[in-house]
Amino acid sequence: MSDDARPRPVTRADVARYAGVSTAVVSYVLNDGPKAVAPLTKERVLDAVRVLGYRPNLAARALSKGQADMLGLLVNDNRNPFFAELCHALDQASADRSKQLLIVNSDRMQVTTSEQIRDLVSRQVSGLIIASVLTAGEQALVETLNIPTVMIGQFGDTDGLAGVGVDFAAGARMGVEHLIEHGYTDIAFIGSAARHDGRERGWREALGAAQLTPGALVHTTFSYEGGYDVGQQLARGDALPRAVLAASDQIATGLLTALRQGGVRVPEDVAIVGFDGTTAVDYVWPRITTVVQPREQMAETAIRALLEPDTVPRYVEFATQLRVRESCGCSVTD
């Protein structure tokens, strides 16, 4: 079929002609204002929209308003179960306020994070949510773009930008204290080498408070592969820790798989506590005890901070909770 044979898209003017009203009245009906429209007239317009199959041009609307009914989300990797569940919670919180969420992964190799931020802003989004650690230069770029921005899931307060997060150190202390309550004294930590990650600090603080010497410290990536590689090394070695705090559920799951493949029993030989509280760790065996980040509360607060900034403090820090399962040595019936 040639281009000339294709039916042209239905326009707002077509809807106005069909309904016998002006294009301005069509606009008032579709945008729910700013002027009121009589109920019978509104029904004629909506009937014309249905009959003609009219679809509003969202790009044109964004240009006319100066912004779109859309928020931009920059996330490091939404394949990560925690970020996947956080993205879902943010999408739901956005939809509750009639906003769409445009999600971009910052781990793309072809473009820089700065380019992705500029691209999101060029799409006339009305606000940015950033679930990825920024360099000083990237943060400076966000500040110069002068667009409402909220950082989420960071290692702490981010100067100059609104933020939502959890107390990582307190969460890690909670996980280690639970292992200590079981009587474990040789407790290792597996996590990232990020300087500002409070989970390693919380591990040290909990052991210090109990007058215990820190066990093995292993840095790896926040991934199944990272945990799996460490688990293989531990299973092949002769110095297994009695317990491990893993800095993410992905690390904990990879670790669990490698240990069991290597003939190491969990929790009989090595107890494990993860971090994040994703639902995935309830579907491995043994189920993994984990420190829970309250994703729904974080998402709701982040969206409010973007759209109703006067109702939310500049930085909101949530407490974590421990979800006890069998990997730590507990007997759980639910």
DSSP-derived secondary structure for 73-140: EEES-TTSHHHHHHHHHHHHHHHTTT-EEEEEETT-SSS-HHHHHHHHHHTT-S-EEEESPPPHHHHH
The pLDDT of residue 209 is 98
Note whether 321 and 291 are within 8 A (CB): yes
User: Residue 115, Cα to own-chain centre: how many angstroms?
Assistant: 20
Q: Among the listed ranges 15-24, 135-144, 200-209, 317-326, which one has the minimum average pLDDT value?
A: 135-144
Q: Quick one: pLDDT at residue 194? A: 80
pTM as predicted: 0.80
Alpha carbons 145 and 67: distance in angstroms, whole number:
14
Angle at 167 (CA atoms; ends 315, 79), nearest 5 degrees: 90
Give dist(CA 166, CA 153) in Å, integer: 7
Neighbours of 66 (CB within 10 A): 8
pLDDT per residue over 100-129, tens digit each?
Answer: 999 998 876 667 888 888 888 888 888 999
User: Do the beta carbons of residue 83 and residue 67 sit within 8 Å?
Assistant: no
168-293, CATH topology level? Rossmann fold (3.40.50)
List the beta bridge partners of residue 303.
none
Of the pLDDT bands very low, low, confident and very high (cuts 50, 70, 90), residue 68 is low
What are the residues facing 292 on neighbouring strands? Answer: 276, 321
Going by C-alpha positions, the residue among 126, 233, 296, 161 that lies closest to residue 244 is 233
Supply 233's token pair: 């090394």
Which tokens sit at 245? 């705090």
Name 321's bridge partners: 292
- Hey, how many other C-beta atoms are within 10 angstroms of the C-beta on 88? 15
Separation CA 123–CA 58 (nearest Å): 11
Q: Which CATH superfamily is domain 3-56 in?
A: lambda repressor-like DNA-binding domains (1.10.260.40)
In terms of pLDDT, which residue wins out, 283 or 50?
Answer: 283
Alpha helices in the chain (DSSP H): 12-19, 23-30, 39-52, 58-65, 81-95, 113-122, 136-145, 168-181, 198-209, 224-236, 249-261, 295-307
Residues 272 and 245: their CA atoms lie apart, in Å, by 6
Indicate the pLDDT class of residue 7, thresholds 50, 70 and 90.
low
Token pair of 284 as six digits = 């491995």
Q: pLDDT at residue 56 above 80?
A: no
Give the pLDDT score at 4. 53
Identical topology for domains 3-56 and 68-166+295-319? no
Task: Tell me whether strands 321-323 and 271-276 are parallel, antiparallel or unpaired.
Answer: unpaired
| Contact call for residues 112 and 83 (beta carbons, < 8 A) | no
273 vs 13, more confident: 273
Give domain limits for the chain.
3-56, 68-166+295-319, 168-293
Q: Which residue has the higher pLDDT, 85 or 155?
A: 85
- Secondary structure class of 196 (helix, strand, coil): coil
Q: Return the CATH architecture of domain 68-166+295-319.
A: 3-Layer(aba) Sandwich (3.40)
Angstrom distance (rounded) from CA 20 to CA 84? 47
* Residue 188, SS3 per DSSP: strand
Lowest mean pLDDT among 51-55, 86-90, 241-245, 266-270: 51-55
Q: Which two tokens stand for residue 323?
A: 């979800």
Which among 233, 223, 220 has a CA at the least distance from the CA of 262?
233
Between residues 2 and 133, the one the model is more confident about: 133
CA 191 vs CA 123, 216, 251, 293: distances in Å: 36, 11, 8, 17
Q: Cβ contacts of residue 184 below 8 Å, gap of 6+?
A: 242, 243, 271
